[in-house]
Structure 1
Amino acid sequence: MAAPMSESWSWFLALAFGVSLLKCLLINTYHSTDFEVHRNWLAVTHSLPVSQWYLEETSEWTLDYPPLFAWFEYGLSHIAKYFDKEMLVVQHLNYASPATVLFQRLSVIFADVVFIYAVKECCKCVKCSRGSKDLLGKPSFVLAGLLLWNFGLLIVDHIHFQYNGFLFGILLLSVARHFQGRHLEGALLFALLLNLKHIYLYISPAYGIYLLRSYCFTKDSPDGSFNWRSLSLFRLATLGVIVCSVFALSFGPFILLGQLPQVLSRLFPFKRGLCHAYWAPNFWALYNMADKALSILGVKLKLFDVDRLPKASMTGGLVQEFQHSVLPSVSPLATLICTLISVLPAVFRVWFRPSGARGFLQCVIICALGSFMFGWHVHEKAVLMAILPLSLMAVERKEDAGIFLILATTGHFSLFPLLFTAPELPIKILLMMLFSLYSFTSLKMLFRHEGSLITIPEAVYLTENTRKQKSQ
């Protein structure tokens, strides 16, 4: 990838300003329980000593993000007190004064500055335009639109409520640094990201293998295979120091307090159900459906005694036990094995047939999708971990553009149940339609000389999705 050196970025500022204005217009829309989750974390980190952060359980929404995010909340809390001090009282459960809503919404909008900067850096990494004077013919412009105006991020962060834009900004900036050959910066950013939200462990195999293979090994053998003697111990040590230092700063205070097991139990509550309360559309959703169908069929055919058949319980937002009725119950270890099997081909390719930063990005996307399909207690919002990085590839190759259109359309459509209130119905439909229209139009224009982006069966499938979307 090569950066367009003399390009004017006035259009980028216009896109960033426009989406920021839209976010401000969404301040008074519906917000989910995640709003109370983060308000409680503000209160916990502001009102209690560090030693109590991962022990406090007045609210059911206990602190369960890594320590760096706790410090992020701590920093926000010192601004929040100027809006409404009452939001920082731990005992004020479900507190949502107008000032509290305003502050929390604005905190997400301002944190998105990281995302905006990361998008600009990613745009510098894509190839120059194919000779088109039209903005829609410039890959950098198309990419900026796909990322800045991403439908999923808009509804998940600025209606439903979370800080994904800030976190994805760090991820995309890390990816951009690897494309720019600044591997240590990329590693540092990813280490910081892991200590802000541990869900990004899903894509850590791609980072670990890529950095070891392409940064620590300085050259290959004449036949293209890696040469163990080319391993740079200095580079390996430098990389290790950077990563270990971030983890030491993050977890060090809690290790000194003897609370590491408590922190880890909050980060990895494996007693939660196989699926989230709202099922992500992955393999385990099909598994659950098959179990339900077999139990119903078995009872009708008198293969099972309905009184002795275990009652299935496969989901949960909070800690609970889980089981299936007919099929074997799935353990966290089983999901880990399935996930690893699904991503191993991509990881092996990065190791044995390295193709630079592009191969690394492909591996990141496959790791994200493999974890989404087979991971334990996967949230529906995790599909954005594949959609956003795939945007970078979609503007460079026709084949990737087609995959992006299918994944973005279906993945974003699966987020619709997150917004179930009547006032948000026209908003989510309009935003989804506008983003889909832009995606199809801009990518089609970008690859206008290379034929259709999707096949007829794929078009029929997406059309059916659109029909259902309009009928809701």
Structure 2
Amino acid sequence: MAAAAATSPARAAAWAFAAATCVKLLLVPTYHSTDFDVHRYWLALTHALPARRWYTDASSQWTLDYPPFFAYFSRLLALPAPLVDASLVFLPVPDAPPSFAYLLYLRLTVAFSDLLLLLASVLLLATDALTRRRRRPFLSLALVLWSPALLAVDHVHFQYNGFLMGLLLLSLHFLEQGRDLAGGVVFAALLCSKHLFLVAAPVYFVYIFRHYCCGRGVVRGLGRLVLMGAGVAAVFAAAFVPFLYYGQMQQLFNRLFPFGRGLCHAYWAPNFWVFYILLDKILAFLLRRLGFNIQIPEASFTGGLVGNSSPFAVLPKVTPITTFLLVILAMSPCLMKAFSKPQPRHIIRWVSYATTCGFMFGWHVHEKASLHFTIPLALIAMDSLEDAKHYFVLSIVSCYSLFPLLFENQEYPIKVMLLLTYATLMWVGFSSHFAAKSPQEGKKVNESSSVVRKNSFIGWISFSYLLGIVAIELWSQVFHHYVFGSRFPFLPLIMVSLYCGVGMMYSWMWQLAWIVRH
């Protein structure tokens, strides 16, 4: 890997992407999830029906619930589909399992769209915002392209996160380079592709307003504000005006923001609400033992169902507005930093922290949303030894929290090997990078090198926590069956979410502390 990086950045990037693509091709025969069926249907929907019917069609349970740019993206992918398999664009979608050509085509569309992630990563790799002179290490690119969580979610479970993350990283590249107008426009395009990135919008707004529009005189600042507003408005107009013309805006927004889905996803994301729910259940149990008449609702949370129920027996019910206020409150230190001293070299951290806040405190968060901050943080994981330690733990926890997504037996060795390979890559790469720093780089670096050699890169607390993941996995895969049999089938999922939630809370607090200090 070091030899590849030493030749040329372009060749090293091509080599890393080719290696990742080979792994993706090996994953083609893996199982296809409901998300595969969703995107399979959207491909046919956008090809077979005119745009005016995309957000009103209800002939399938897999209704289109992404913003218009993603619908246009699906339409683009559908153009050559009939040349491969005509059934790819049939409505209704055939109930029969897809042919191998059908499966291969859809898998390849995901791999092909990852070229945008490659482009954005290479651009971010080329210039390090911390020094403006040296490049980011090649390992940073490998950490993005070889992310086991991204491979599992996109190329086994099936989604297009690589393409979407490419848009986010491209926007961050422009902001790092001081090209705020381009960064804002690309981020607007991202929002029109997947609206869940709205959680980063407050940071973008505050940063761009202060860095691009303010401090340049009233006239010039106002002109820049108008220019930025016009650019963003043009993007949103291109996405939504056709559907405004069709009279579909109400239906479209109902699809994009289905608040009736409830606080938690069927499989709990490892965030703050895991602890809130379990605390409610513990309090209800204790109060009932003390003689209080506590009505415990039907186990909508522990049954893995999605719905707008009120499952809390003791603690107050959580509403969407409550989660929104908590996200903004958690994000406020970052917003104040971005307002008081907007610095391009910190923009990746600020955006990553904002998406972390959305993951930790948001409404109906999917476990896959951890990609929104783990992928950007990979690019700055080697900025310091502390960053590397933090990312090492976070990336393992994030990937392990996704294990229940790949629930079939034939995928078990795949997800384990992907995680172990990535962990080994990080261990060797981080240890070598920080231990090999030259004495001329300063006392702080020398101290970091000695810490790497003495403590084997991570401390005993982090190491013990990661060993706990092994214990949780052994219980889920082996001992749970022997102790409980077929009872409490959701218990292993609760244990995974709760234990990974501890790691995610640590990551959120670590990022918050970094922002406060800097």
Same fold (TM over 0.5): yes
Residue of structure 1 equivalent to 2:180: 183
Residue of structure 2 equivalent to 1:447: 434
Question: Which one-letter code corresponds to 1:103 in the other structure?
Answer: Y
The equivalent position to 1:164 in structure 2, one of 144, 161, 164, is 161
CA distance in 2, matches of 1:463, 1:231: 56
SS at structure 2 position matched to 1:400:
helix
Tell me the CA shift for residue 233 of structure 1: 1.1
CA pair 177-323 structure 1, distance change in 2 beyond 3 A: same
CA distance in 2, matches of 1:14, 1:54: 41
Residue of structure 2 equivalent to 1:334: 322
Question: Which one-letter code corresponds to 2:38 in the other structure?
Answer: V
CA RMSD after TM alignment: 2.4
Residue of structure 1 equivalent to 2:461: 457
CA distance in 1, matches of 2:7, 2:108: 34
Question: Which one-letter code corresponds to 1:166 in the other structure?
Answer: F
CA distance in 1, matches of 2:270, 2:120: 29
CA distance in 1, matches of 2:275, 2:94: 37
Q: Is the 8 Å Cα contact of residues 157 and 165 (structure 1) preserved in structure 2?
A: yes
Question: Does structure 1 residue 374 correspond to structure 2 residue 375?
Answer: no
Question: Does structure 1 residue 70 correspond to structure 2 residue 71?
Answer: yes
Q: Structure 2 unaligned segments of length 5 or more: list them.
A: 436-445, 478-518
The equivalent position to 2:274 in structure 1, one of 272, 285, 288, is 285
CA pair 230-294 structure 1, distance change in 2 beyond 3 A: farther
CA distance in 1, matches of 2:376, 2:404: 24
Question: Which one-letter code corresponds to 1:324 in the other structure?
Answer: F
Task: Give a deviation string over 1:89-148, Cα, whole Å, max 9, x none.
Answer: 23225552322211110110111111111111111123799x99xxxxx84211011011
Question: Does structure 1 residue 245 correspond to structure 2 residue 234?
Answer: yes
Question: Does structure 1 residue 105 correspond to structure 2 residue 107?
Answer: yes
Question: Does structure 1 residue 347 correspond to structure 2 residue 351?
Answer: no
CA pair 322-358 structure 1, distance change in 2 beyond 3 A: farther
CA distance in 2, matches of 1:127, 1:337: 32
Moved over 6 A (4+): none
Tell me the CA shift for residue 463 of structure 1: 2.7
CA distance in 2, matches of 1:304, 1:359: 52
SS at structure 2 position matched to 1:368:
helix
Question: Does structure 1 residue 400 correspond to structure 2 residue 397?
Answer: no
Q: Is the 8 Å Cα contact of residues 265 and 306 (structure 2) preserved in structure 1?
A: no
Q: Is the 8 Å Cα contact of residues 311 and 324 (structure 1) preserved in structure 2?
A: no
CA pair 436-416 structure 1, distance change in 2 beyond 3 A: same
Percent pairwise identity: 38
SS at structure 2 position matched to 1:447:
helix
TM-score (norm 2): 0.82
Tell me the CA shift for residue 12 of structure 1: 1.9
Task: Give a deviation string over 1:127-184, Cα, whole Å, max 9, x none.
Answer: 799x99xxxxx84211011011011100000000000001101111111111122222
The equivalent position to 1:155 in structure 2, one of 152, 162, 165, is 152
CA pair 209-408 structure 1, distance change in 2 beyond 3 A: same
Q: Structure 1 unaligned segments of length 5 or more: list them.
A: 133-137, 220-227
Q: Is the 8 Å Cα contact of residues 284 and 313 (structure 2) preserved in structure 1?
A: yes
CA distance in 2, matches of 1:318, 1:78: 35
Matches within 5 A, 1:54-93: 54-92=55-93
The equivalent position to 1:313 in structure 2, one of 300, 322, 328, is 300
TM-score (norm 1): 0.90
CA distance in 1, matches of 2:305, 2:86: 29
Question: Does structure 1 residue 142 correspond to structure 2 residue 139?
Answer: yes
CA distance in 2, matches of 1:316, 1:338: 25
45-54 or 118-127, larger mean C-alpha shift? 118-127
